Chains A and B, each alone.
Chain A
Amino acid sequence: MAIAMTGSTIKAHIGTWTLLAMLALAGCSSSTDTTQQTGDSKSNEKKLRIAVIPKGTTHEFWKSVHAGAEDAAKELGVEVIWKGPLKEDDRNSQISVVEDFTTQGVDGIVLAPLDDTALRMPVENAKKSGIPVAIFDSDLKDTEVVSFVATDNEKGGRAAGEEMVRLLGGNGNVIVLRYQVGSASTMNREKGFLAVMKANPGIKVLSDNRYAGATVESAQTEAENLLSGYKQPDGTLAVDGIYCPNESSTFGMLRVLEDNHWAGKVKFVGFDASAKLIEGLQKGYINGLIVQNPRRMGSEAVRAIVDAIRKNPVPKRIDTGATLVTGDNLKDPEIAKLLEIPK
């Protein structure tokens, strides 16, 4: 087994590591161009640097938040650094991002926590290092922050529930496909919806303990399994109404309804919007979508943190609103603006 180190082996090692370094360098230098920098750079005064950390980067929802954050950055003359967890919906990954920005010493952090508990420690550490933190979209338990900027999700869930009751005429069997455990925003949407269901004796909730999981793929699988349990011998569904609390679960459910030719035959209310979901709304496959205002959420959150840094008063809770979109009001200019998808 004793193998002498030859000159060529040394060269191979050195060569490989040089290649590695170059690769890293190439990746990094290209990123200097892609890093989002906004605002007026002519002024000599050092620009405030705000890290905006979403839960993920691939949902259209977060793209709208990003656009809103950039709007505010331009207006306020600050720089926004947009960085989501490397692994979508991975708590540990998001903790690392918060820690990295804390170490780097940004001027403020705006965070949509993936978990109401797990993100507490890194946020406390950031505050200890003198970095103010604003929270958006989902709340953080027992932690003092600059402001909490979000949709009143329970209210949104109730709106979805009321629409469902109206669609069903107060009678029917309903299924709720939950999103994911520990995500406060969607849990409140489920809670609000279920509260309305409970208040209507004609409505029976058949299932509310299944979770769609983080991705469209997992939602699709879960929805398929869930619905196949309510399939009748003639191929129709023994379900009158379906509710999903976010974009990925709604889309996953929509795909399953389409594939099985159930779409349009069961009342379906979802949450959040995307091009595909709007299409579903137009086709009548989806009866209603509760739409948040992510763009406003992004801009209000950045505004809140900048106000706090500049020692302006900031409200502790900012509600960015939720609107019911149906096939009928889709064309309203205000709704259209809300649904506009950023490039």
Chain B
Amino acid sequence: MKWRGAYTLIGLVAALFLLFGIFAVLLARQDKSGFLSLGNVETILRQSTPVCIAALGMTLVIITAGIDLSIGSVVAFVSVVVAWFLVRGMYPAVAFAAGIVSGAAFGFLNGVLVSRIKVGAFIVTLATMLVARGAATGLANEQKIDAPMSWLNSLLAVLDSDQKWMLLPSGVWVMVILAILTHWILNSTRFGRHAVAVGSNERAALYSGISVDRVKLAVYTLMGIFAGFAGVMMYARLSVGDPSTAEGFELSVIAAVVIGGASLSGGQGSILGSILGALIMATINAGCSQLGMSNWIQQMITGGIIVISVMLDRVRVARIKDR
């Protein structure tokens, strides 16, 4: 298991480098440089931070053989909540905290519905997706909310020349810290092992005395907290609370997690893999964009990559069943 994971990660890193190389060469052929520059790496990291953070939670959810379709809407809701608080003159830290709490609340709601009512996660989160989008639009009074600029906006802003010592914007560092934390939770705590057990075989987990419901409740609540962070980052990027933002966001996140080696049938997934998956998608977007490629080609490439990832998932599942 450890070895398989390692090979997947090596494959992902290789793919990322390969993509960088391909784009650098293609851009150089068009007489465009700068794809290999640090500035470009920073741009890609800034652009992918919301997806990366949400992918942390989604990895946990998918490891328990669940899914969360509501996160795009929750991210929009959180961006509106943050702007709503800022516009009323609250401290940015308060708005930040309110964003996380509202994300967590939606996660908790998902967790309760999935674990207590025992309807499939797909349909539950499809419903909360609509609820959260509606709540966002309502709270924003069917508009976007223009909030005053604050330090929140510098989370994912380009670093000023006197901030270069930070190497990367603070929001990216927040993502890195959250990733390390989630990696630790997944691999070194009892809760992490239980999550894997629930996803591998729910009945067996139940018989071995694991409180499956509690594990699920915790996993979806964590997902909500990460959606909260992702929403704050989205607000930082937009500088407005936008109830229409992050439409289809959940699909990018799920794609990142699956590209990263997680199995949609549960029991498998890695944090580093999911981050690499998100970076691969962001790199493709940035590269295609800089090439001035037509959007339809770019969309087909992204779609093709998701198909391949799902194929990879199928191959894995088939191999496990073989044994």
Instruction: Determine which of A34, A125, A182, A214 lies in contact with B240 in the assembled complex, contact meaning CB atoms within 8 Å.
Output: A182
Let me know if B7 and A10 touch, CB within 8 A.
yes
Q: In the complex, what's the smallest C-beta–C-beta distance from B270 to chain A, in angstroms?
A: 14
Interface residues of B in 22-49 (CB under 8 A from A): 22-23, 26-27, 29-35, 37, 39-40, 43, 46-47
Let me know if A117 and B297 touch, CB within 8 A.
no
- In angstroms, Cα B23 to Cα A49, docked, is 18
Q: Which of B11-19, B62-70, B87-95, B220-228 contacts A (4 or more CB under 8 A)?
A: B11-19
Q: In the complex, what's the smallest C-beta–C-beta distance from A247 to chain B, in angstroms?
A: 19
Query: Do A35 and B143 contact each other (CB < 8 Å), given the known contacts A5-B4, A92-B246?
Result: no
Q: In the complex, what's the smallest C-beta–C-beta distance from A258 to chain B, in angstroms?
A: 28
The interface residues of chain A lying within 8 Å CB-to-CB of B43 are 99-100, 102-103
Instruction: Determine which of B14, B289, B292, B295 lies in contact with A17 in the assembled complex, contact meaning CB atoms within 8 Å.
Output: B14
Q: In the complex, what's the smallest C-beta–C-beta distance from B293 to chain A, in angstroms?
A: 4
What range describes how many residues of B lie at the interface? 35 or more
CB of B285 within 8 Å of the partner chain? yes
Let me know if B30 and A32 touch, CB within 8 A.
yes
Instruction: Determine which of B39, B47, B267, B292 lies in contact with A36 in the assembled complex, contact meaning CB atoms within 8 Å.
Output: B292
Q: In the complex, what's the smallest C-beta–C-beta distance from A285 to chain B, in angstroms?
A: 29
The interface residues of chain A lying within 8 Å CB-to-CB of B29 are 32
Let me know if A27 and B297 touch, CB within 8 A.
yes
Q: Which of B98-106, B170-178, B210-218, B304-312 contacts A (4 or more CB under 8 A)?
A: B304-312
Interface residues of A in 20-77 (CB under 8 A from B): 20-21, 23-25, 27-32, 34-36, 46, 49, 51, 57
CB of A95 within 8 Å of the partner chain? yes
CB of B265 within 8 Å of the partner chain? no
- In angstroms, Cα B133 to Cα A187, docked, is 23
- In angstroms, Cα B143 to Cα A138, docked, is 17
Q: In the complex, what's the smallest C-beta–C-beta distance from B235 to chain A, in angstroms?
A: 10
The interface residues of chain A lying within 8 Å CB-to-CB of B142 are 181, 209, 211
Interface residues of B in 303-323 (CB under 8 A from A): 304-305, 308, 311-312, 315, 319-320, 323
The interface residues of chain B lying within 8 Å CB-to-CB of A28 are 22-23, 26, 287-288, 291, 293
Query: Do A117 and B285 contact each other (CB < 8 Å), given the known contacts A3-B1, A91-B245, A105-B34?
Result: no
CB of A101 within 8 Å of the partner chain? yes
The interface residues of chain B lying within 8 Å CB-to-CB of A17 are 11-12, 14-15, 18
Q: Mark A82-114, 1 if CB is under 8 A from B, else 0.
A: 111011001110011101111111000000000
- In angstroms, Cα B23 to Cα A220, docked, is 41
Q: Mark B138-158, 1 if CB is under 8 A from A, else 0.
A: 000011101000000100011
Query: Please, how many residues of chain A have a CB less than 8 angstroms from a CB on the other chain?
Result: 62
Q: In the complex, what's the smallest C-beta–C-beta distance from A302 to chain B, in angstroms?
A: 15
Closest to A1 in B: B1
Q: In the complex, what's the smallest C-beta–C-beta distance from B239 to chain A, in angstroms?
A: 6
- The A interface is mostly helix, strand or loop, or mixed, namely helix
The interface residues of chain A lying within 8 Å CB-to-CB of B26 are 28-29, 32
Closest to A47 in B: B31
CB of B238 within 8 Å of the partner chain? yes
Query: Do A101 and B240 contact each other (CB < 8 Å), given the known contacts A13-B11, A182-B144?
Result: no
Q: In the complex, what's the smallest C-beta–C-beta distance from B291 to chain A, in angstroms?
A: 5
Instruction: Determine which of B30, B34, B39, B285 lies in contact with A86 in the assembled complex, contact meaning CB atoms within 8 Å.
Output: B285
CB of B115 within 8 Å of the partner chain? no
Query: Do A2 and B1 contact each other (CB < 8 Å), given the known contacts A91-B238, A125-B158, A182-B240?
Result: yes
Query: Do A25 and B285 contact each other (CB < 8 Å), given the known contacts A31-B291, A34-B297, A121-B153?
Result: no
Query: Do A31 and B288 contact each other (CB < 8 Å), given the known contacts A1-B1, A182-B144?
Result: yes
CB of A12 within 8 Å of the partner chain? yes
CB of A282 within 8 Å of the partner chain? no
Q: In the complex, what's the smallest C-beta–C-beta distance from B93 to chain A, in angstroms?
A: 21
Q: In the complex, what's the smallest C-beta–C-beta distance from B253 to chain A, in angstroms?
A: 14
Interface residues of B in 276-300 (CB under 8 A from A): 284-295, 297-300
**Which A residues are within 8 Å of any B CB, using their own CB?**
1-5, 9-10, 12-14, 16-17, 19-21, 23-25, 27-32, 34-36, 46, 49, 51, 57, 81-84, 86-87, 90-92, 95-97, 99-105, 115, 117-118, 120-121, 125, 128, 181-182, 209, 211, 214
Q: A24-B301, A99-B47 are in contact. List 9 more A-B contacts (CB 8 A).
A: A1-B267, A21-B15, A27-B293, A28-B23, A31-B297, A96-B47, A104-B27, A104-B40, A117-B144
- Can you list 15 A-B contacts (CB < 8 A)? A3-B320, A23-B301, A23-B304, A27-B297, A28-B287, A29-B26, A31-B288, A34-B293, A34-B297, A86-B299, A92-B246, A96-B286, A121-B153, A121-B239, A181-B143
